[in-house]
Structures are given as C-alpha cells and as structure tokens.
Structure 1
Amino acid sequence: MTSAPTQPDVSALSFEEALKQLETIVRELEQGNVPLERSIEMYERGAVLRSHCDSLLKAAEAKVEKIQLGQDGKPAGATDLDQEA
C-alpha cells in the first residue's frame, strides 16, 4: 500500500494565511497547467485548507455571538444603543 505524501499541518495557519494558500491552489488548478497527480495533491490540500478556514470562521462567529449577548443571555442589540442616545 502506498502512502500519500505528508503535507504541512494547517492547524497553525491563521485564517488569512490559509485563505491565501487556498486561493493560490484554486488559481493554479483553474489554469489547467498542472499534471494530474499534482492536481490531485493540490485538491486534497485545498480541501484541508477549506475545512480549516471553515472551522476558524465558525469559531469567530461563535465569539461574535457571545459578545453580542448580554449577561442575561439576551441579545444586547439596538435597544441598548437607543438608551445611550
């Protein structure tokens, strides 16, 4: 059984770094000048990068949602802002 070449771990990449790598992969694959085997490797790497970006976005959304909720767990929305005016 052959093993796939190991790819660098993406867990340490920031969202911006991972997205930049993913954009580079997409651009190269869209040009169509990459040999088949390399295309497959790039596609696999892209899938890992996309999953990493998705996880980071979900974590960021959860943080924003938590920030937007007040101490009582209710949204601290426009009504709080209206009271400050």
Structure 2
Amino acid sequence: MGNYLAYAGTFELKEDRLIHHINVSNVQDWIGASQVRLFTLEGDYLTLSTLPMPAEGNARGILRGKKLNRSKYSVLNAPTAPLH
C-alpha cells in the first residue's frame, strides 16, 4: 500500500494559514497537537502546503484539489517539492 498520512480534527483560518487541531491521526505524536498549512484558493483550485522543513532540505508537502461541485474537492496530486 505504501506510505500514507491520515489525520482529522477541527481547524481554523488565520490569514493565509489553515491550522488543523488534530484529534485522530496515524501519527501518535500529532494527536492533541496542531499542524499549520499554508493555503491558496484560486478559482476552483485549493492548494495546501506545509511550511518549509529544514530537516528535509527545506522540502515541503503540497496537496492540490479541484472543486467538483459547490462544496467537494478532488485531490489532483500530492507531490513533495524542494523549495529553491
């Protein structure tokens, strides 16, 4: 099946950041913590990205979805890309 990451909980928006408050996760250390994602909403496209990760050579995770109808998004890709 490969590697995957799953989490759920509440969230809040602050400027260009989406803050996930983790209630359930397959990463035990994340439960009860918060994860910050940068977000952009351009037309029908929502993009979430992690902050740069210095321990990973400043790579960041990126998730992009396209709006299917009034409220649902479909994930287009989830690459991890280094910052330059």
TM range (shorter): under 0.3
Larger Rg: 1
Query: Comparing both structures, which one devotes a greater share of its residues to strand?
Result: 2
Query: Comparing both structures, which one devotes a greater share of its residues to helix?
Result: 1
TM-score (structure 1 length as normaliser): 0.23
